[in-house]
Structure 1
Amino acid sequence: MDETIWPAVHEARRWLDLSNGTMPLELTCRILKVTEEAGEAAAAWIGLLGQNPRKGVTHTRDQVAAELADVAFTALVALASLDLDPRQALTECAAKVRARLPSDGPPTPARLPWPPHAP
């Protein structure tokens, strides 16, 4: 991973600690923030697909990607806020996922037309 990520995670955690404290309620809010960011990613995806007939297509793939990155970064900050090593937690998670994958390689995914709607 890009080595700018880990210092940014720790700087964000330090800033939040100094600004908001580290009591259980604050840590709870940091964990709940992951859910808030996930909701924004979901809204962007719905907007990309144009699933709200009143609004139509309102987002791009890049906007969805940015929202998903917010989810990931927010989760890393929450991990650091629990006095855990986010890099180690992410590495262990990746190893767990890889262990579940079939050894003969990934299946061929079904492909749908993209983008789902004409611009």
Structure 2
Amino acid sequence: MSEHDSSREDLWTSVDALWSWLERDQPVNGREGLLLRMLKLSEEVGEVSEAVIGAIGQNPRKGVSHTWDDVQGELCDVVITALVALRTLTPDTREVFHRHLRGVTERSLGNGAV
């Protein structure tokens, strides 16, 4: 297995572990729990916005309150949250994601890109 393959496997192992952890401690179940898991994405995207505004000092009351490293971390949180939300919808998360990524890549870069 190449380093790329093992890091991909680590990603999916972590996503599965985070999903399991959240499922065990979920205070709201069923449809509402599912919807709340999806809404968590909006919260994380808002944190990206806050970090970007803080990195450029756009808020005169707060000044420069974040770094571009903070923005990177918040973007990673969005990706993780999205993958865990996808795992909530389907146990075939890997296949669904890679199939969709392949389709987006082919549409954007052409059929020979992947």
Which TM-score band (shorter chain)?
Answer: 0.7 to 0.9
In structure 1, what is the equivalent of residue 58 of structure 2?
A: 51
**Is 1:18 the counterpart of 2:24 in the alignment?**
yes
The CA distance in 1 between the partners of 2:103 and 2:44, in whole Å, is 24
User: Which stretches of structure 1, 4 residues or longer, exceed 6 Å deviation after superposition?
Assistant: none
TM-score for the superposition, normalised by structure 2: 0.80
CA distance in structure 2 between the partners assigned to 1:53 and 1:86 by the alignment: 42
Equivalent of residue 47 in structure 2, options 36, 40, 47: 40
Alignment correspondent of 2:13? 7
**CA–CA separation in structure 2 for the residues paired with 1:51 and 1:93:** 36
Shift of 1:97: 2.2
Segments of 5+ residues of structure 1 without an aligned counterpart are 104-119
Compute the displacement of 1:96 (Å). 2.4
| Residue 85 (structure 1) aligned with residue 92 (structure 2) | yes
The aligned amino acid for 2:77 is D
Aligned mates of 2:61, 2:108 — CA distance in 1: 41
Q: Shift of the alpha carbon at 1:84?
A: 4.0
What is the alpha-carbon root mean square deviation over aligned residues? 1.7
Q: Deviations over 1:70-107 (max 9, x none)?
A: 0000110011111242222321232222223255xxxx
- Which structure has the higher relative contact order (CA within 8 Å, separation 6+)? 1
Q: SS state of the match for residue 25, structure 2?
A: helix
Residue 98 of structure 1: which of 91, 94, 105 is its match? 105
Count of aligned pairs between the two proteins: 103
More helix by percentage: 2
Aligned sequence identity (%) = 42
